[in-house]
Amino acid sequence: MRREVLLGIVTIAVFLVMALVAFPDGAAALVVVLVLSLIFLGIFRHYADDKELVTNVFLAALLLRLGFGIIVHVFDLRGFFGGDALTYDFRGDLLMHSWVGSGQILDPMTLQAFSPSSPGWGMYYVVGFLYLLVGKNIFAAQSFCGVIGAATAPMVYFCALRIFGNRPVAKTSALVVALFPSFVIWSGQLLKDGLIIFLLVLAITMLLRLQEKLDFVALALLFLSLGGILTLRFYIFYMVAVAVAGSFVVGVSSTPGSLFRRTAALVILGLGVTYFGITRSATQDINKYGSLERIQVSRGDLAQSAGSGFGEDVDVSTTQGAIGAIPIGFTYLMFAPFPWEAASVRQLITLPEVFLWWGMMPLLVYGLWWAIRHKLRSALPVLIFTLMLTLAYSVFQGNVGTAYRQRTQIQVFLFIFISVGWQLYKERIEDRRMTRLSRQRQIEHALRARAQQS
């Protein structure tokens, strides 16, 4: 009870500060937060057995993201933490004015950015639609992203519970995603990272649901999440699609009913993405931006970024070069920034989190090993997607800051396996304690028996 009271007090305080600190923008932002939060809480509490847990996890995640967002807004730190937010704000406003017919004539480059043939176009439409409702308000748009980021934590709870059926594992996974600093930073601003992570977890969770039964709500949500991912970061769409297809194929060899259910879901999903042109759009994007030569150009630009590039001499324009780039890319993707290479304040302030992340590696290995041995079929979608995205980022990442930021798309699932490792470790410790107690009791019993005999 004391925890709930404290959480309620902090929630009211954050909401008041949010509304007053940048009035009237703050008040509009608070309305967005309240409406969206009530929708998410209603859904989560409807499907959760432990309603109190998912509510507290969501609120804790939300308060951290809103609090961080207030600091960013008040002290004008968007250029320091995430300059892309200013681009989304500017172009989203242009798009909104073009819809209502009150904007300036857009130049060809801006028009191209709004086209579905341009990568990442979806974020401009999200901001534009929000500005259509509340007016140009970067604080409200940022808070919208904060709510979506907070909703990721309960979604991770549902995802982990479907994979392992273990509530302590699901609870730990959700708490880590709710509280881990990098998740707060990247989902507490007007950036697409938080939206992508939420859609990824939603897609995998709905996929796991469809493996159990043919649920048309889950099918619709999987379809929508795939479409959303395509509009934000098109190449991730392919990786999720492979994970979807692979998990259905591997799971086919059970009962005739299961075979029908999985085949029907896959066919309906395939027809849907084809009918709405999702596969055509994805194919156009991959043909335009997915060649090794184009990847090399992008990677070279990242590697030449001042102070945070790496592997400038790496050439991924050939298959052999791309494969050869994986070891160094994987090292930086999973473990950077390194203390001895920290060259800026932004890298220095991430080091405590980096050390914590390094300390989790044994638990990650332990959890992965156990999941592959005992829960391979249910964990397969997560394993396929995580492996593919890790390899892809290992090839074309050439910047420490970008690698640190995009690592969250992988970490959100790795934390589930880390939670498995942590639970196994605690169980081993408990087993050893119980074994020691049992031995002590046996010794005490033997000593009492000898004393009685003597």
Whole-angstrom CA distances from 394 to 327, 337, 365, 391 are 7, 15, 19, 5
Contact call for residues 186 and 234 (beta carbons, < 8 A): no
Q: How far apart are CA 197 and CA 24, in angstroms?
A: 30
pLDDT score recorded for residue 252: 44
Domain end residue (candidates: 152, 171, 191) = 191
pLDDT score recorded for residue 154: 98
Structural domain includes residue 141: yes
pLDDT score recorded for residue 326: 87
Structural domain includes residue 230: no
pLDDT score recorded for residue 144: 98
Q: Which of 53-57, 137-141, 257-261 has the lowest mean pLDDT?
A: 257-261
Side-chain-side CA neighbours of 157 within 13 Å: the count stands at 27
pLDDT score recorded for residue 275: 45
- Count how many domains the chain has: 2
Claim to verify: residue 22 and residue 131 sit in the same structural domain: yes
Q: How does residue 165 score in pLDDT terms, banded at 50, 70 and 90?
A: very high
Tokens of 10: 């902090």
pLDDT digits (tens, 9 = 90+) for 10-27: 999 999 999 988 888 999
Q: Which of 87-101, 144-158, 434-448 has the lowest mean pLDDT?
A: 434-448
Structural domain includes residue 216: no
Q: How far apart are CA 241 and CA 306, in angstroms?
A: 35
Q: How does residue 188 score in pLDDT terms, banded at 50, 70 and 90?
A: very high
Domain end residue (candidates: 160, 191, 222) = 191
Structural domain includes residue 436: yes
Closest C-alpha among 409, 271, 275, 404 to residue 331: 404
Q: How many residues does the chain have?
A: 454
pLDDT score recorded for residue 162: 93
Claim to verify: residue 300 and residue 437 sit in the same structural domain: yes
Contact call for residues 41 and 150 (beta carbons, < 8 A): no
**pLDDT, mean over the chain:** 85
339 secondary structure, DSSP code:
G
Helices assigned H by DSSP within 193-252: 193-212, 216-232, 234-250
Structural domain includes residue 307: yes
Q: Which amino acid, residue 287?
A: N
Claim to verify: residue 303 and residue 411 sit in the same structural domain: yes
Structural domain includes residue 128: yes
pLDDT digits (tens, 9 = 90+) for 194-226: 999 999 999 999 988 888 887 889 988 998 999
Structural domain includes residue 418: yes
pLDDT digits (tens, 9 = 90+) for 405-452: 999 999 999 999 999 999 999 998 888 888 888 788 887 777 777 777
Domain end residue (candidates: 162, 191, 220) = 191
Residue 43, domain extent? 1-191
Tokens of 174: 């959700």
Per-residue b or e along 274-313, where b marks 16 or more CB atoms closer than 10 Å to that residue's CB: eeeebbebbeebeeeeeebeebbeebbebbeeeebbbbee
Structural domain includes residue 218: no
pLDDT digits (tens, 9 = 90+) for 273-299: 544 455 555 555 555 555 667 777 777
Q: What is the pTM of this model?
A: 0.90
Of 344 and 121, more confident: 121
Q: How far apart are CA 68 and CA 413, in angstroms?
A: 23
